[in-house]
Amino acid sequence: MSMVLLTLLRTKFVQYLGRVRRSKLSLFSLLAIYLSWMGIISFSSLFLRLSGGILGVPVNEYVETLIVLTVSSILAIGAFLGSKGGITALGYELDYVLTSRVAPATFLISDLVFQLVLLNIFIVPSSLIIIITISYPGQLVNPVVLLAVYELSIVMSSMTAHLLGVARHWLGEMRAKAIGWSITLLMALPMIVRIIGVQPMFLKTIHPSYLLGLLVDGRADPQAIFLLTLYLAFLVAAYVKAAKTNFYASVTPVLLSALMEPPKKLPRYLRLPILSDALFSIRPGDRPSIMMFKLHLTRIVRDGSLWTAILILMIFTAANMALPRLLRIESFPEVAQLTLVALYTPLFPALLSINWCVSERQNLWIVDTTASGRKNYLSGLFYAYFMVTVVFSSCLYGFVSIGAREVPFLEIDIALLLAMSIFSVLFSIFTSFRLRRAPTPFSISSLLYVLIPMLGSILLSLPILVVRLFEPLASDPTPQLLANISIFIAIVSIVFYRVLMRSLSRGLPDTMGV
């Protein structure tokens, strides 16, 4: 079994990191992206610490809350992935491993190890950076105990995901999904109660996140340890039973459907007849540019991108409501608000471009084999992304402003919103066309799809962001200032748009994997 297990594991990693093996440059880029991600985490932690420091909130309260919330997130992620299938079966495994004589237990354990390694890479260093940055220079927690607690929660998370995957075999897909969503909700309860602003005491005595949190600060009483042992024992017992089950027929390729790939069944649930059919459906009389615009909007509505964008909007609005409570302040300082909105806006086109890569990139041959080429296709893509981004970021801006009890939409905010939307859309299109291949879910390289639009649009919008920070310029700008800002946005947008369209319209078929 051990030899087979090792072979399965080795092949899985080789397949997953296949691109890195192509050249030393690929390895270097991967490391650079990972380090950039760590940089962002460090910056955010520093920001969190400084905000708390200024307002005089005790640091240990932060740390305690953060540990509970990160552990709660880890457990919720496991349950969420479990509701999507839980077992990370790659395409070749579905075709060749699951149809071979490899025992289900062997496959399950190899996947458990695979998930543990991946989750460790993504979660542990970033979580430790946050805690260390916030608690420095005082040693508020024992790093070894903290590490052990994170490892334990990762193991629990992966086992939960697997169990929910195997539960599809035992109970059927719908029931397993319902259980998966219920557990996700239960695991996310510590976050939800924070957002609502209530603190039910009973949760602190029974919820695994709080119990694990108690272990870190050494306050775990025998009852807490007993309960935690009970949870673990239940998980292990269920896992042993799962490993003895032949669940192969219920396995779905979770890596391809959990996060990135648009949910294929969504059209059934999210066909908006009025929107997509009456307004955006392609008609014989459409001009080519209008037709392309409609094509992209139809895709966004039908492939699930719209639903995911709504989900992201809800999550970030909730996060914005929760964070001030975490920091024990009424609302964010204006700078903090702006930073968050500036960071959020590019996420919408980034998400759209990731989904474009997954579901549409391979269809480029259709426009590449026509005489008009990509010109109309690209302009349609830009306007469709822009429309979605501006609508969603306006909603986000509105919610944030209302949440902060500020008059929504100062004139300068509209300019900032417009600039961030245009620039991030252009950077997203650039990223998705210039990167050779579609991002794979959970791959570190997929961060590029977020990082490039985010950093690029913040950089180009910097002059407006700076003006936004200074009073009374921000709340009462002179007409001349507004005119200058408008001219700046117009010039940069037009130049960037033209350069981008010209460079991407030129045939790049060799690079698009058609």
Interface contacts to another protein, rule CB under 8 A: 264, 267, 281-286, 288, 291, 295, 298-299, 302-303, 359-360, 362-363, 365-373, 507, 509-510, 514
Tokens 């390895």 sit at which residue? 27
CA atoms 64, 66, 67, 69: torsion sign:
positive
d(CA 53, CA 444): 32
Shortest gap between Cβ of 378 and another protein (angstroms)?
A: 13
Looking at the DSSP assignment, which residues form a beta bridge with residue 253?
Answer: 88
Question: Can you read off the two tokens belonging to residue 415?
Answer: 């300019």
| Choice between 267 and 403, CB closer to another protein | 267
| Choice between 101 and 287, CB closer to another protein | 287
H helices of 17-142, where?
24-55, 59-83, 91-92, 104-135
| Choice between 24 and 101, CB closer to another protein | 24
| Choice between 65 and 281, CB closer to another protein | 281
Return the DSSP state at 138.
Answer: S
DSSP line for 230-248: HHHHHHHHHHHHHHTS--G
Return the DSSP state at 93.
Answer: I
Please check whether residue 251 is in contact with residue 85, taking contact to mean a CB–CB distance below 8 angstroms. Answer: yes
| Choice between 169 and 374, CB closer to another protein | 374
| Choice between 200 and 507, CB closer to another protein | 507
d(CA 198, CA 189): 11
Among candidate residues 483, 319, 456, 468, the one with its CA nearest the CA of residue 399? 319
d(CA 329, CA 62): 13
Shortest gap between Cβ of 437 and another protein (angstroms)?
A: 15
Please check whether residue 413 is in contact with residue 397, taking contact to mean a CB–CB distance below 8 angstroms. Answer: yes
| Choice between 203 and 508, CB closer to another protein | 508
Shortest gap between Cβ of 307 and another protein (angstroms)?
A: 13
Looking at the DSSP assignment, which residues form a beta bridge with residue 88?
Answer: 253
Shortest gap between Cβ of 277 and another protein (angstroms)?
A: 10
Shortest gap between Cβ of 303 and another protein (angstroms)?
A: 5
Shortest gap between Cβ of 91 and another protein (angstroms)?
A: 15
Q: What are the Cα distances from residue 136, in Å, to 384, 443, 494? A: 46, 31, 46
Q: What are the Cα distances from residue 99, in Å, to 8, 29, 92, 110, 111? A: 14, 36, 10, 16, 16
Return the DSSP state at 207.
Answer: -
- Extract the runs of DSSP E, i.e. beta strands, from 289-421: none
Shortest gap between Cβ of 302 and another protein (angstroms)?
A: 4
Shortest gap between Cβ of 83 and another protein (angstroms)?
A: 22
Shortest gap between Cβ of 503 and another protein (angstroms)?
A: 16
Question: Can you read off the two tokens belonging to residue 191?
Answer: 């976050």
| Choice between 122 and 307, CB closer to another protein | 307
Shortest gap between Cβ of 467 and another protein (angstroms)?
A: 41
